[in-house]
Structure 1
Amino acid sequence: MRLVTLIIVCVLGCRAQTQEAAATFHTGTALVRVDVQVLNNGRPVSGLDASDFVLRDEGAERKPDFFGRESEPLEVMIVLDVSGSMGRMLKQMAEAARQALARLGQADRVGVAFFARRLTIAEDLTDDRVLVERVIRDAPLARDLGAGTSINEALLELTGWWRLKPPFAGRRAIVILTDNGGMHYQAPDEKVIAALSELNIVLNAIVPENAKPPGPAGKPGEDV
């Protein structure tokens, strides 16, 4: 998967202490990586440079310190909501998941997880696309994961599973397919965001047309 990478180096703080011998400076930097893919009617747009992008951090415009085009391997987990509320939509969402596989590169690895009240890893990360498609096709048969839709809890469990994996030099992503009908009193959004950020995992959601869209993060108990 070919992505554009923008990197910002932000100075977090600088303090000088005047002493008789010499001044001591304390500084810190944070390297923020932003991956961007630009499509036109589903096709990648080529020939872009830094001037074609506007980057903002909490409303303030930032100038990228580095801009480059690169292709790195991807580890992606496709996470399917198999709760009772999905009903007939589950087959449609499974088909959307299979279509997402077509966008992956040869060096990418993909796994599958199902969740309702609980989460299960249906297939570990693999480059066997035929196997993954078969697992996704069987998603409507997964009916032993309890009643309810524990979205945030599933994401936290998945990040814990990923944390035990060997170091990976490429990118990591989660594609979750759900009707967004869960409540998350025990796992607020902030906790999920922190866990994803720690492992540099990008979260993408695919929801049915009539489903409630994800709301703003930051309020425990609300849908993601």
Structure 2
Amino acid sequence: MEALYAYAVVSADAALPRDVDAILPGAGFALVQAGGCAALVSLVAREPFEAGPGCRGDDPAWVAARAAAHHAVVAALPGAVLPLAFGALFSGAAPLAAWLAAREAALMAALAQVEGCAECTAKLEEDPARHAAWLDEHDENLRDLARRARDATAGTAFLLARTREKRMAEARAARATMLARDVAARLGRHAHVMPEALTALVRRADLPALMDDVAATASDLAESGIALRLVGPWPPYAFARAALSHA
């Protein structure tokens, strides 16, 4: 049996992708329209995607290749795009058109919001040993515990060492929370920050300023054992998930 594999919601006048392979070899592309919006689809066999004897969902290599193909198609779409989750199947054009029509107003508003935008995610990654060494130098409480342990008897030194371990864990967690808030605020200077952690929808024209800001922050943090990197830009996956969940 066949089904329509849906990649993304786009405007009704969107161009079909070129120079990119469909989700399955040999499948073409088409648009299913409903009012001002449409879904980009390919006609595919259902079996590889659905539970049953022909399902390929338990083949990691196949899933990885198909997920990469899905992303390549979405990334090749010009204009505003709301990516759908990998594996979205519809039984035919009529059910898909009905699904679009029931959400047209919300989908059109979301498409307008992502026009000219991309999505980025900031990643904070800790080097525990370097971060702990930095905190040893900069946290007065930790320095005081270390001084007291050096001058204490063996039993007291042991207890102080345990206290210091707990304080170190608390200090690492507190600084991670503080840095996450600071990075979110920096993203907010340039972009629309979404509920998903440190993810933002940014106008492509503002990407250079955002990247410069993140790079400067990353340089400041590097010596403290915290790496900051910006992942993306890519299609607005997180934004689309949020928009579609409320559409």
Q: Which TM-score bucket, shorter chain as reference?
A: under 0.3
TM superposition score normalised by structure 2: 0.24
Larger RCO: Structure 1 or Structure 2 (Cα < 8 Å, ≥ 6 residues apart)?
Answer: 2
User: 1 or 2, which has the higher strand percentage?
Assistant: 1
Of structures 1 and 2, the larger Rg is shown by 2
User: 1 or 2, which has the higher helix percentage?
Assistant: 2
